[in-house]
Structures are given as structure tokens and as C-alpha cells.
């Protein structure tokens, strides 16, 4: 057998074998690998590479070695899933660098971190002032996680006491001019609805590059021809405005009428509309 | 424009709002939104009833403007 054919066969089978081993080992992302897993991965790759080229090496030796390395890695994975103590031994613990806004110098020293490196890591997290940090911890993967002091954290709707419409994921119903039936069904809609919505804005679905429908059934479309302007969904703000108008109308009638009982009725109804506006605002605003 | 026709306009607008609210209540996938829309729809229906009664009274007072 010519040597190149042997190399070809070896390479082919080793690639196939490695493919299955990596499938079994799971799909942890490369950046999330612990140092040990990283080293094991490189070593397995190295053995496989050497084995596929070096025809003087017995296949059985190489395969045994690869199997042992992967088996140890799998064993460690299983064990660290089972036991927390084992996990901290293998993967290491997180080290607290800043606590209550104070730097823990001893922990820095323990992890061989210089003050400059700490500041650099903080800057990478967009923190330029030590004073902003409440808590920082060096994760076992080598990343620094930073908790800012409450007054330096970004404002959330909860901080502002805002009530917002709960967001559900939109469904993409037209892609490249083709109607996608499954997402349409997921949104509880059908082709008839879609066609009538498209008719409202005056396009056929063949001209639509992308169309999405949100959880309230509002349709947003993008056409192939970007020169044509389509209306953005305005039905909801429009309805909010028309409720406001009705409310103002009722108040006006209340002022205009002479009969006390009728005035009371109008005022009560205007109050009801006001209440309605308050409840609907978070759902109709964009 | 008489008061009667103005009230009729408001009634029409409210009816459209109520219908829209019903559609939203049925279409919405979020339970919270759906409930808010439904409650608002019930409220708007109450107001519609009030206005319809009032339009009846107005038409009795000004029979010359009767009808839509």
C-alpha cells in the first residue's frame, strides 16, 4: 500500500472519530472551557494530528491515547456535575476582588493580579472610576464580573415606575416574498388575514421582502423596492388618540348640557374613559 | 351641527374603539394585555349604552334631526 493512501485512510477515520468524540463531549463554548478542558482538547488534537501523518506510529497506540484522554475528560465532567466540591477543585472558585467598594489586596496577590491589570479589566467593563464599583469578582474562567453601585447602574423601567407592555417574540410571516405558514399559525393567524392586512397597505406578498407580526397582530413589512413607502403600524397610537378625543367630547357635552342628570352621566362616562386610557396606555404606546 | 349629530359622531367613534379593543383582546398573545383590552371594551360598551339612550332622548326633543 503506498504511504499516501495510508495517510489518507488514517486522516479520514481519525477525523470521523474525533467528530464523534467532540459530539459526545458536549457543546460547551470554547470561551467557557476551563483551563484543564482547554489543555485536554489541545492534546487530543495534537495526538490526532500526529497519528494521521506519522505512519511509523501504531494506530492502536494513538487511538488508545485519544480514548484515555477523552474518557478522563468525560469522567471529570460527570463528577463535577455531581459534586460541588469536586467542581471547585477542578474548575477553581471565583475570587472576590472588590467588596463593598473596597479592593481585597490579598486576593489580588493570590491570583497574581497587579493593580494595573485590575483597572484594565474594569475599564474593559466601561468602569473608569473605582468609586463606581460595589462588588467585583474574578470568575474561574478569568473574566472579571462587576456589580456597579445602585446609583451608577443603568435605569430600568422599574426604577422609573413605568408600566410597560409585556413583550412577546414577533413571528416572521413573510420571507423573500414567500409566506411562512408555520409562524403564521403560531401567531394564531392565517393567510386570509395576512392578505387582507397587505391589501390595507396596498402591496401583494410577492413584493414583500420581510414581514413580521407582533403579539398584538400588528404587521410590519419591508418591501423589495425600498422607494415605496409603507405605513408603519399606527393603529394603536391612532386608537389612543381617538379615545382621548371621545373623552374630551364627553367633557364638552357635560359642560354644554343644561340638565343636571345628563351632565352627571356625561361626567361619569368621561371619567370611565379616563380610567380606560390609564389602563390602556402601557399597551398602546410605542 | 346640532348637539344630536355631535353625540352621534362620538358614539360612532366609540363603537369603532370598542370593536378595535375586541380585536386586540382576541389577537393578543399576552394574557395581561388581553385582559386590559377586554376590560376596556366592557367599559366602552357601558358608555355606548349611555350615549345611545341620550341620543334617543335628543331625538325625542328634536324630531327634525332624527335618523343617521
Nearest CA in chain A to B11: A246
Domain that holds residue B44: 3-58
The rounded distance, in Å, linking the Cα atoms of A242 and A134 is 48
* Inter-chain contacts counted by CB atoms under 8 A, chains A and B: 78
What pLDDT, on the 0 to 100 scale, is given for residue B48?
A: 92
How many whole angstroms separate alpha carbon A38 and alpha carbon A31?
9
Contact A276 B10 (CB under 8 A): no
Our count of domains for chain B comes to: 1
- Residues B68, A177: Cα–Cα separation, whole Å: 44
Q: How confident is the model at residue A80 (pLDDT cuts 50, 70, 90)?
A: confident
Which segments in chain B show pLDDT lower than 50? none
pLDDT at A3: 83
Helices (H) and strands (E) in chain B, counts: 2, 0
Tell me, yes or no, whether B63 lies in a domain.
no
Task: Report the topology of domain A171-232.
Answer: CRO Repressor (3.30.240)
Distance from CA of A42 to the nearest CA of B (A): 48
Mean pLDDT lowest among A56-70, A143-157, A225-239 = A225-239
* Closest residue to B17, CB basis, from A217, A246, A272: A246
Task: Give the end-to-end CA distance of chain B in Å, rounded to a whole number.
Answer: 13
Q: How many residues does chain A have?
A: 286
With CB atoms and an 8 Å threshold, state whether A166 touches B32: yes
Say whether B36 and A283 touch across the interface (CB within 8 A): yes
Q: Is residue B68 part of a domain?
A: no
pLDDT reported for residue B68? 55
CA distance B34 to chain A (A): 9
Round to whole Å and give the CA distance between A114 and A108. Answer: 7
Q: What pLDDT does A221 receive? A: 87
| B65 within some domain | no
Instruction: Give the model's confidence band at A285: pLDDT under 50 very low, under 70 low, under 90 confident, else very high.
Output: low
Q: How far is A28 from chain B (nearest CA, A)?
A: 34
- Looking at residue A167, the DSSP 8-state letter turns out to be P
Per-residue pLDDT tens digits for A216-227: 777 888 888 887
- Total Cβ atoms within 10 A of residue A28: 11
- Per domain, the residue ranges of chain A are 3-89, 95-152, 171-232, 236-284
Contact B28 A275 (CB under 8 A): no
- Examine the pLDDT at A258 and tell me if it is beyond 80: yes
Q: Which single residue is written with the C-alpha cell 360598551? A: B45
* Residue A242 contacts B where some CB pair is shorter than 8 Å: yes
Determine contact: A265 vs chain B, CB below 8 A: yes
Judged against a pLDDT cut of 90, whether residue A123 lies above it is answered with: yes
Burial A223-261 (b: 16+ CB within 10 A, else e): beeeeeebeebebbeebbeebeebbebbbebbeebeeee
One fold for A95-152 and A171-232: yes
Nearest CA to A281 among A247, A245, A248, A237? A237
Q: Which helix (H) or strand (E) holds A179?
A: strand A178-179
Pairing of strands A133-138, A102-103: unpaired
Within a domain: B64: no
Report pLDDT for A30. 64
pLDDT of residue A148: 92
Q: Give the list of residues 6+ apart from residue B68 with CB closer than 8 angstroms, or none.
A: B8
Higher confidence at residue B58 or residue A122?
A122
In terms of pLDDT, which residue wins out, A163 or A121? A121
Say what the pLDDT of residue A120 is. Answer: 92
- Is the CB of A217 less than 8 angstroms away from the CB of B28? yes
Tell me, yes or no, whether B53 lies in a domain. Answer: yes
Mean pLDDT of chain A: 85
What pLDDT band is residue A38 in, cutting at 50, 70 and 90? confident
Nearest to B20 among A215, A239, A265 (CB): A239
Average pLDDT over residues A155-176: 82
**Domain A95-152 belongs to what topology?**
CRO Repressor (3.30.240)
How far apart, in Å, are the Cα atoms of A73 and each of A65, A77, A79, A141, B48?
12, 6, 10, 17, 72
Tell me the CA end-to-end span of chain A in Å, nearest whole number.
72
Q: Provide, rounded to the nearest whole percent, the portion of chain A with pLDDT above 90.
A: 13
Taking residue A285's Cβ as centre, other Cβ atoms within 10 Å add up to 13
ipTM above 0.95, yes or no: no
What's residue A146's pLDDT? 92
Contact assessment for residue A76 and residue A36, using Cβ atoms and an 8 Å cutoff: yes
Out of B6, B17, B33, name the one closest to residue A242 (CB): B17
Report if residue B66 sits inside a domain: no
Q: Model confidence at A233, in pLDDT bands (50, 70, 90)?
A: low
Better-scored residue on pLDDT, B65 or A127 = A127
Cβ-nearest to A246 among B10, B30, B50: B10
pLDDT of residue A286: 55
CA distances from A214 to A157, A166, A246, A285 (A): 21, 12, 27, 14
Residue B67, pLDDT score: 64
Report how far residue A280's alpha carbon sits from residue A258's, in angstroms, rounded to the nearest whole number: 32
Please answer yes or no on whether A215 and B32 come within 8 Å at the CB atom: no
Q: What is the rounded CA–CA span in Å between residue A270 and residue A155?
A: 35
Range in A196-205, A246-255, B40-49 the model is least confident about: A196-205
H helix intervals, chain A: 3-25, 35-53, 59-82, 84-91, 105-110, 115-124, 181-186, 191-201, 235-256, 260-284
Amino acid at each position: 500500500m503506498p504511504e499516501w493512501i495510508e495517510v489518507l485512510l488514517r486522516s479520514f477515520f481519525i477525523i470521523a472519530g474525533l467528530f464523534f468524540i467532540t459530539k459526545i463531549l458536549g457543546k460547551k463554548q470554547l470561551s467557557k472551557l476551563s483551563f484543564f478542558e482547554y489543555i485536554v482538547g489541545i492534546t487530543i488534537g495534537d495526538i490526532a494530528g500526529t497519528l494521521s501523518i506519522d505512519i511509523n506510529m501504531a494506530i492502536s497506540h494513538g487511538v488508545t491515547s485519544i480514548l484515555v484522554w477523552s474518557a478522563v475528560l468525560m469522567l471529570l465532567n460527570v463528577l463535577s456535575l455531581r459534586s460541588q466540591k469536586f467542581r471547585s477543585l477542578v474548575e477553581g472558585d471565583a475570587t472576590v476582588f472588590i467588596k463593598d467598594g473596597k479592593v481585597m489586596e490579598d486576593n489580588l496577590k493570590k491570583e497574581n493580579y497587579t493593580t494595573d491589570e485590575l483597572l484594565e479589566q474594569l475599564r474593559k467593563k466601561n468602569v473608569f472610576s473605582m468609586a463606581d464599583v460595589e462588588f467585583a469578582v474574578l470568575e474561574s474562567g478569568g473574566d472579571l464580573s462587576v456589580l456597579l453601585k445602585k446609583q451608577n447602574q443603568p435605569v430600568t423601567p422599574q426604577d422609573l415606575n413605568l408600566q410597560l407592555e409585556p413583550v412577546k417574540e414577533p413571528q416572521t410571516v413573510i420571507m423573500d416574498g414567500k409566506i411562512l405558514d408555520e409562524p403564521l399559525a403560531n401567531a394564531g393567524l392565517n393567510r386570509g388575514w395576512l392578505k387582507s392586512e397587505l391589501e390595507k397597505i396596498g402591496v401583494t406578498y410577492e413584493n414583500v421582502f420581510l414581514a413580521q407580526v407582533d403579539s398584538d397582530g400588528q404587521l410590519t413589512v419591508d418591501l423589495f423596492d425600498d422607494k415605496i413607502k409603507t405605513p408603519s403600524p399606527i393603529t394603536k397610537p391612532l386608537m389612543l388618540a381617538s379615545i382621548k378625543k371621545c373623552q374630551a367630547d364627553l367633557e364638552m357635552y357635560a359642560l354644554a348640557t343644561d340638565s343636571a342628570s345628563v351632565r352627571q352621566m356625561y361626567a361619569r362616562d368621561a371619567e370611565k374613559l379616563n380610567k380606560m386610557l390609564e389602563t390602556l396606555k402601557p399597551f398602546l404606546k410605542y | 351641527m346640532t348637539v344630536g349629530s355631535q353625540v352621534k359622531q362620538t358614539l360612532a367613534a366609540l363603537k369603532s374603539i370598542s370593536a378595535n379593543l375586541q380585536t386586540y383582546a382576541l389577537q393578543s398573545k399576552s394574557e395581561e394585555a388581553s385582559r386590559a383590552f377586554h376590560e376596556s371594551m366592557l367599559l366602552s360598551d357601558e358608555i355606548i349604552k349611555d350615549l345611545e339612550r341620550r341620543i334617543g332622548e335628543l331625538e325625542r326633543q328634536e324630531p327634525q334631526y332624527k335618523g343617521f
